Amino acid sequence: MPSNIKLKLQVVDRVGAMAQIATILADHDLNILFMEVEKRGSETFVYLDLETGAKSLDQQTIFSALEAIPNILSAAAIRTMPQ
């Protein structure tokens, strides 16, 4: 049964960063329902509302896969989206 995961990522903003994130999420059978990118000075944050699929793995495995991308500085679960 699908469920939702909400994430906040701190990333190094560069060309292709979102493509890498989307590929990892697709590889883990996660559907992006909503995404928001926020820049605060030199910091960039990506907020994601994801729907799990039948083949989705546990949250820690997903975090590990995302944090393996060199341009992701941190990944955390959040309860609500910023807007």
According to DSSP, residue 50 is labeled E
Domain-embedded: residue 19:
yes
- CATH number of the CATH domain containing 58: 3.30.70.260
Instruction: Confirm if 73 and 10 have CB atoms less than 8 A apart.
Output: yes
Could you tell me which residues are beta bridge partners of residue 49?
A: 6, 34
The rounded distance, in Å, linking the Cα atoms of 53 and 30 is 6
Q: How many domains does the chain have?
A: 1
pLDDT tens sequence across 45-74: 999 999 988 776 678 888 888 888 888 999
Locus of tokens 């030199």: 42
Lowest-confidence region among 11-20, 22-31, 36-45, 50-59: 50-59
The residue segments making up the domain with residue 11 are 4-77
pTM confidence score: 0.86
